[in-house]
Structure 1
Amino acid sequence: MERARQSARQRGARVSGPRSARADRQRKQERTDREALPYGSGRDPVLMSDTVAALMRRMGWTEQIEVTSVTARWREVVGDQIADRCKPLGFEDGILTVKASTTAWATQLTLMKGQLTHKLNEELGRDIVKELRVLGPTARSWTKGPRTVKGRGPRDTYG
């Protein structure tokens, strides 16, 4: 047995034994750093806001929550006149979608895209909104089902 140990040492093998308590503590600290636990080193309590902020960063929610907070204060950010005539619909991949009440306001907001984008990003503190997509009011669709026939439209059925 001693000869086998001797030859293993010559080949560079290490002695495998029980792990040290220091290595265990270091592994535990690394695991604690990766996970957002409600306690710090020595199990001291951590502020709830720090834990929630770490969770939001880890899940990738920070950008969406920032934009949602601005759209919740839409009237304060864009002003009463614009807020009366348009509302935000959603935010996805840097594109904020806004729906206008009339086609005239949709055109006006399209002309003001740069100003509104700048104002929103200024409110957020960084460039999150890359593009502002303006939708106008939608007309009623008379088509039913996946297939349609070209023609004059709904007037054909009224006689």
Structure 2
Amino acid sequence: MKILLALFLALQMALACHADEAAPLAEDPVVEQRLIVIAEELRCLVCQNESLAGSRADLAMDLRREVRNLIKDGKTDAEIKDFLVSRYGDFILYRPPVKPTTWLLWFGPLVLLLGALWLLISTIRRNQQQKEPPLLNPQQRAKAQALLQETDSKK
């Protein structure tokens, strides 16, 4: 029993040795609040589906550190975003500006939706036009009448 207890305690100590240190508290809460606001509008370049504020990737931590330094240097939010866009392109912004290089991003879904609606409407119209019964020539009509009379007489 004592051996199991010793083994359990040794395992607990091993887990504590591998734990990461907690992130230090903010030196300036105003800077940290502004950092969070800016970082929420930026995309993590590693995770791509997370904001820079929510990502735990090493690059995201480096970018947050860079943004923190820019805030401390007195840069405005627009200047910070312009700096990051100049280094990483419009991809870093969650809401990229509407310009010729981003038209596909902004208007592509609308074009696809309109194309799908046009395809649906044209398919429905084509199917409705084809539902009209084909006309029979007199010879085919006579043959059909004979078949109908033959089935009626068998009943």
TM-score by length of 2: 0.30
Indicate the structure with greater strand content: 1
Structure number with greater Rg is: 2
Indicate the structure with greater helix content: 2
TM-score by length of 1: 0.29
